[in-house]
Amino acid sequence: MIEHIRNSLLEAQTALNNFINNEQTLRNIEQAAQLLVNSFEHQGKAFSCGNGGSMCDAMHFAEELTGRYRNNRPGIAAVSISDPSHISCVANDFGYDFIFSRYIESHGRSGDVLIAISTSGKSPNVLNAAEAAKKLGVKVIGMTGKPGSKLEALADVCICAPGGDYADRVQELHIKVLHILIEMVERKLSPQNYV
């Protein structure tokens, strides 16, 4: 069993090292952070969405901004599209593929940002959300695990985190990226927290 544990950690380490050494990925993270900062500086808000573990990541991202990440600072406008009553209503009336897009249509405004998370880059409800966002002038940050995905084509900036054969490694990289984005936002909006 110890060997399986070690191999799992080594696989995660390899995925992270590959990610760190990809200069384009680092530039994409920087660009995504700047999109968020620009939105927040102009009273915009961030939406986040995903399925399963990616929804948990979307929720985690939003609560770190509205609540607290590392130190106290004013709350930042962020919402994960995860309200069960909204999801069940839209899924029942329109279909599961529209649970995120209907929310964006209802609440998104030009200058806002959507973080659209899909490890495959092809989840229909996430793609529909990105399309709805684009129509409204909402910037789209795509987070995927597969280069050349449909989500990448829809995004203003895409952070692709190939982590291996399964979604778990991709999700591990995604949560690191989300924490970095939050830190970069805080460094700009609350620099006193990083003195």
- Does the annotation list 53 as a binding residue? yes
- Does the annotation list 80 as a binding residue? no
- Does the annotation list 21 as a binding residue? no
- Does the annotation list 14 as a binding residue? no
CA 154 – CA 20 distance, rounded (Å) = 24
- Does the annotation list 171 as a binding residue? yes
- Does the annotation list 44 as a binding residue? no
Quick one: 74 exposed, middle or buried, by C-beta within 10 A (0-12, 13-18, 19+)?
A: exposed
Phi, psi angles (nearest 5°) of residue 119 = -60, -35
- Does the annotation list 120 as a binding residue? yes
- Does the annotation list 31 as a binding residue? no
Helix %, strand %, coil % of the chain (to 5): 60, 10, 30
- Does the annotation list 119 as a binding residue? yes
What is the CA angle 75-98-47, rounded to 5? Answer: 15
Name the binding residues for Zn(2+): 60, 64, 171, 179
Name the binding residues for substrate: 51-53, 64, 92-93, 118-120, 123, 171
Name the binding residues: 51-53, 60, 64, 92-93, 118-120, 123, 171, 179
